[in-house]
Amino acid sequence: MAQFIPADSPIEQLAGDLGANGLPYALPIHPNLVHLTIGLFVIAIAFDIAGALYPVEKRVFRFLALPITRGGFHDVGWYNLLACAIATFFTVAAGFFEMLLAVPLPGVTSTIGLQSMQTMLWHGVGGVVILLVIVGMTVWRGYQRFVWRRDMGRQVQWLYLLVGLFLFLVIGLHGTLGAELAGEFGVHITADQLLAAGADLKEALP
Amino acid sequence: MLELLPPLNEHNLPWMDTLHPIVVHFVIAMGLITFVFDLIGVLTRRSALFEVSFWNLLFATAAIFVAIIFGQVEAGLAEPYGASRDILNLHSTIGWSLAGVLSLMSGWRYVIRSKDPQQLPLAFLGAGGLLTALIVVQVTLGNQLIWVYGLHTVPVVQAMRAGLV
A118-177 pLDDT per residue, tens: 999 999 999 999 999 999 999 999 999 999 998 888 899 999 999 999 999 999 999 999
Residue type (1 letter), B60: A
- Is residue B63 within 8 Å of residue A38, measured between CB atoms? no
What is the pLDDT confidence band of residue B138, given thresholds at 50, 70 and 90? Answer: very high
CB burial string B5-39: b at 16+ within 10 A, e below? eeeeeebbbeeebbbbbbbbbbbbbbbbbbbbbbb
User: In this structure, is residue A17 part of a structural domain?
Assistant: no
Q: Rounded mean pLDDT of B35-42?
A: 97
Interchain pair A27, B154: CB under 8 A: no
Average pLDDT of A101-112? 93
pLDDT at A79 over 70: yes
Predicted confidence band of residue B111 (pLDDT cuts 50, 70, 90): very high
Buried b (16+ CB within 10 A) or exposed e, B81-101: bbebeebbeebeebbeebbeb
pLDDT at B24 over 80: yes
Report the percent of chain A where pLDDT is more than 90.
Answer: 76
Exposed, middle or buried by CB within 10 Å (0-12, 13-18, 19+), for A163?
A: middle
Tell me if A162 is assigned to some domain.
Answer: yes
Average of pLDDT values for B33-37? 98
**In a domain? residue A74:** yes
User: Is the residue at A197 inside a domain?
Assistant: yes
**How far is Cα A160 from Cα A83, in angstroms, rounded to an integer?**
18
pLDDT at B82: 92
Cβ–Cβ contact B14 with A under 8 A: no
- B32 contacts on A by Cβ (under 8 Å): 36
Largest separation between any pair of C-alpha atoms in chain B: 61
DSSP tally for chain A: helices H, then strands E: 7, 0
The whole-chain average pLDDT of chain A stands at 93
pLDDT 10s digits, A43-67: 999 999 999 999 888 888 888 878 8
**Residues A190, B147: Cα–Cα separation, whole Å:** 6
User: Which pLDDT band holds residue A189 (cuts at 50, 70, 90)?
Assistant: very high
* Cα A27 to Cα B27: distance, rounded to the nearest angstrom: 20
Give the residue numbers spanning the domain of A78.
Answer: 28-204
* DSSP assigned state of B16: S
Residue A84: per-residue pLDDT: 98
Does the pLDDT of residue B2 top 70, yes or no? no
**Mean pLDDT within B25-33:** 97
Q: Which helix (H) or strand (E) holds A109?
A: none
- Residue A95 confidence (pLDDT) above 70: yes
Q: Does residue A98 lie within any of the structural domains?
A: yes
Which chain A residue has the Cα nearest residue B155?
Answer: A192
> Structure pTM?
0.93
Query: Averaged over B19-46, what is the pLDDT?
Result: 96
Chain A residues lying within 8 Å of B149, measured CB to CB? 190-191, 205
Specify the pLDDT at position A3.
Answer: 82
Query: Residue B63: closest CA among chain A residues belongs to which residue?
Result: A39
Interchain pair B147, A79: CB under 8 A: no
Angle made by CA atoms A27, B59, A169, in degrees to the nearest 5: 70
Question: How many distinct structural domains can be found in chain A?
Answer: 1
Cβ contact A183–B148 (<8 Å): no
Q: How confident is the model at residue B1 (pLDDT cuts 50, 70, 90)?
A: low
pLDDT of residue B97: 97
Contact B145, B91 (CB under 8 A): yes
Q: Are B20 and B74 in contact (CB under 8 A)?
A: yes
| Least Cα separation, residue A27 to chain B (angstroms) | 6
Cβ <8 Å between B148 and A35: no
Q: What is the mean pLDDT of residues A61-90?
A: 92
What's the one-letter identity of residue B158?
A: Q
B118 contacts chain A (CB < 8 A): no
* Cα separation, B47 vs B43, whole angstroms: 10
Cα nearest neighbour of A84 on chain B: B29
Q: Calculate the CA B80 to chain-centre distance.
A: 19
Percent of chain A with pLDDT over 70: 100
* Interface touch A72/B51, C-beta < 8 Å: yes
Q: What is the pLDDT of residue A60?
A: 85
Q: Is residue A143 part of a domain?
A: yes
